[in-house]
Every structure is written in structure tokens, then in C-alpha cells.
Amino acid sequence: MSLSQRQSLGQVSDRSYRGRRVLVTGHNGFVGSWLSFWLAQAGAGVVGFALPAQPGGAAEALDLDSAVTSIEGDVRDRTQVEELIGGHEPEIVFHLAAQALVIPSFDEPLATLATNVMGTAHVLDAVRRQPSVRACVVITSDKCYALSAGAHEEGDPLGGEDPYSASKAAAEMVVHAYRSSFFAGSRVGVATARAGNIIGGGDWADYRIVPDCARAVIAGEPVRIRHPEAVRPWQHVLDAVAGYLRLGDGLLIDPTANAQAWNFGPPSEAAATVSEVVAMLFARWRALGETGVRDPEHEADSPVPERSFLTLVSDKARSRLGWLPLLDLQATIDWTVDWYHSVAAIESGNAVTVTTSQIARYLELDARAVGCSGSPPTNSATASRAAGRRPDDERHRRDVS
């Protein structure tokens, strides 16, 4: 699909998700909650499978159990996974269940490998035995790549210098092996999605800079920063979820040509250091009148080694799936802080209302992008207009020099 043939996410949802049975593993995690909530709003019959949800996390805030069928379980249990997929007969599977953090992987490397590698194998093995499944999207990570000084393309070597990264590289290899051995030439499309550093409202995980900042602001304490000069491809959760939805749609349209690995990362200008992003987060908090912002503190020593540079090349997804990142870095920061401020900080916001509003605004931006003959509306001013604010009200422009 070329950009000239690009269809809106509303059209994609109507064609591929409305009325379909969709399984989301890891549905109550940060990204899984946004994906499941979007799918449910789009009219899909969503079944979620995951460990118990984090107290106070996005799934609880969204009352996700009222929108989807939630089943508690563990992808490390092969029998549970087989009974899940065999019993619910999904047509589309999004596999997000994972141990998703670098630092805990040093404390529990075997559990990380068991979840991220064997968990993926269990899902794929059950999928190959279930005739109802037409598409399976396995979410891995941008950290599946071997170290490199440049931006990563899908054909770059896989690697992993820490247990988490190695587990994601191994998961990619498992998918490749199953796709080549069991799904080649079949009606089932199996693909992997590798996204950048995803941020957005509702993430309360430890060892992540955005929830660390939110907790610090709410408590009126300084945030402690590891690796302040590390460069990451920051992107809003809605940009990533939109990519996953377009990939699932692509697999239904052509399960052979689109059955491969796909990068979903922001444009190069969205790559920024941790210090720059913290400055932008705090600038937005201050612009909203928050008085609890304190200057960050840098940790002298990080508890584990982490990559200093990581970015993605996503040209293939743009040209072939019609995916476009619609929120630039400033808009990504704005929408993220707005969610926390509305839902958590002022204690009067409704997560369902805020999340529904942000999805609606995103769909509006996407519809505009479909109608544009030139560049898509990715800048903060355009995002502000979609939110009902004037561009000149955005006085907290990026200033981290």
C-alpha cells in the first residue's frame, strides 16, 4: 500500500477489527491497555490474557475489565495458552505479554527468558493449531538489534548485551523459525513489530523515566535520572498502537507479503536525550500550573549497563503499510503530561474520558493526514488544534539547549 492509497484508521478498524474476535496477550499492561481499549471502542470482541494487573495502572484506571473479556494466566504455561486460543477461537492475535523492563531482567534473567522466548513459542504453537486465526502480530522491541552507531533497519543483525535485549532478539528468531516452518504459504500472516521508547498516560512501571517523573512531580520530590545523555526514539503510545493495528490489517490483506519484521519508530528529530525529555516533561507540568516540579538529580552510577544510542528507520512501514507517526516530540510530551495531570495529579479527571478524548483526537489527525497531499500533520500546533487549543497558546516550546 503506497501513501497515495493510504486509508484512515477508521476505515482500517471497520474493515479488519469491527465484529472480529481479537486476542491480546498482556492486555492489562501499559501498551496493551491502550491497544485493548482502542479495539473495544472500534467494535472488536476483545479477549485479554495476562498476569494480574498492576494496582493503579492503566487497566485499572480504564476499568478495562468492563470493556474486554479478561482472563488471568501466564504465557509460560503452555497448557493455559493452548486452552485459551482453542477455547476462544480468535481471528487476530496481538502478543504483547512480556517481561518488559531491562533492569529487572538482571535480577530475574531466567524468568525474563521464559516469558519472552518460551511464552512467544507457546503462543505461536497454539496459533498454528487453531484454524480460526488469520493474523498474529508479535510485539518485540527496538532493543532486539545488535549494538550499532547508526539507526536500525529491519535487516540489521539481531543481538542483546543484557537478558532483556537478548530475550527479544531470541523471540524474533522464534517467530522467524515458526513463520518459515509452519506458516509459509498459509492463510495465516505472522509478523513482528519493533517500536521505539513508547510513552503516554497510564504507565506506572518502575525504571521508566516518564512514570518516574510523574511520581516525583506528584510527590514534590526530585526525580533521579540514569544515563542522562542516552538517546532514545521517543514516541507516543497511540503512534505505536496505530502501527500495530495497520500491521494486523496488512496481514489480513496479504498474509504472505506482510509477514515479516517491521519497525515503528518516530522521525529522526524525535530522538532526544533523557535529559532533554525530562526538561520537556517538566516544562509542560509547569505550564499546567504544577508547583511540585523539582530539578532532577543524576545518579552517579547506573545499576546496570544500558545503551547510549538507539534509533529506528521506519521507512518500510510508512511506504508499505501507510503508517505515519502523527505526534512529534513536543506533542508526545504534551499529550503524555496532560493525561497524568488530568487523571492523577489533580485527582478529578476520569481516565476513560481522557483516554477516549485522546484517541478521538488522534483519529482526527489521522483522517486529516489521509486528506493531505503533502506532509502529514505531525507538529504540536496541529495537535493543539485537534485538542481545541490555539497554536499560540502553546507557550512551552522546546528549550533544552
Residue 261 lies in a domain: yes
Residue 157 lies in a domain: yes
Render pLDDT for 133-190 as a digit per residue (tens, 0 to 9). 999 999 999 999 999 889 999 999 999 999 999 999 999 999 999 999 999 999 999 9
Q: Which three cell numbers stand for residue 125?
A: 504453537
Residue 68 lies in a domain: yes
Query: For residue 298, what pLDDT is reported?
Result: 85
Cα gap 326→366, rounded to integer Å: 7
Residue 345 lies in a domain: yes
Residue 401 lies in a domain: no
Statement: residue 275 has pLDDT above 50: yes
Residue 223 lies in a domain: yes
- Model confidence, pTM: 0.91
End-to-end CA, the chain: 40
Residue 398 lies in a domain: no
Q: Which residues of 210-241 are buried (b: 16+ CB within 10 A; e: fewer)?
A: bbbbbebbbeeeebebbbeebbbbbbbbbbbb
Tell me how many domains the chain contains: 1
Helix, strand, coil shares of the chain, percent, nearest 5, are 50, 15, 40
Cα separation values, 154 from 63, 75, 235, Å: 36, 26, 18
Task: Report the percentage of the chain scoring pLDDT > 90.
Answer: 79
Q: How are beta strands 189-195 and 197-199 bridged, if at all?
A: unpaired
DSSP 195-242: E-EEE-TT---TT-HHHHHHHHHHHT-PPEESSTT-EEEEEEHHHHHH
Burial (Cβ within 10 Å: 0-12, 13-18, ≥19) of residue 182: middle
Cα gap 322→11, rounded to integer Å: 12
226 confidence band (pLDDT: 50, 70, 90): confident
* Helix or strand (DSSP H, E) at 165: helix 163-178
Residue 53 lies in a domain: yes
Which domain covers residue 77, as residue numbers?
Answer: 3-393
Cα gap 33→42, rounded to integer Å: 14
Contacts of 38 by beta carbon, 8 Å cutoff, 6+ apart: 241, 245, 359
Render pLDDT for 13-26 as a digit per residue (tens, 0 to 9). 999 999 999 999 99
Q: How are beta strands 231-236 and 271-273 bridged, if at all?
A: antiparallel
Number of CB atoms found within 10 A of residue 377's CB: 22
Render pLDDT for 65-86 as a digit per residue (tens, 0 to 9). 999 999 999 999 999 999 999 9
Cα gap 195→311, rounded to integer Å: 10
Statement: residue 399 has pLDDT above 90: no
CATH code of the domain in which 207 resides: 3.40.50.720
Closest CA to 248 of 346, 133, 334, 142: 133
Contacts of 358 by beta carbon, 8 Å cutoff, 6+ apart: 201, 238, 335, 339
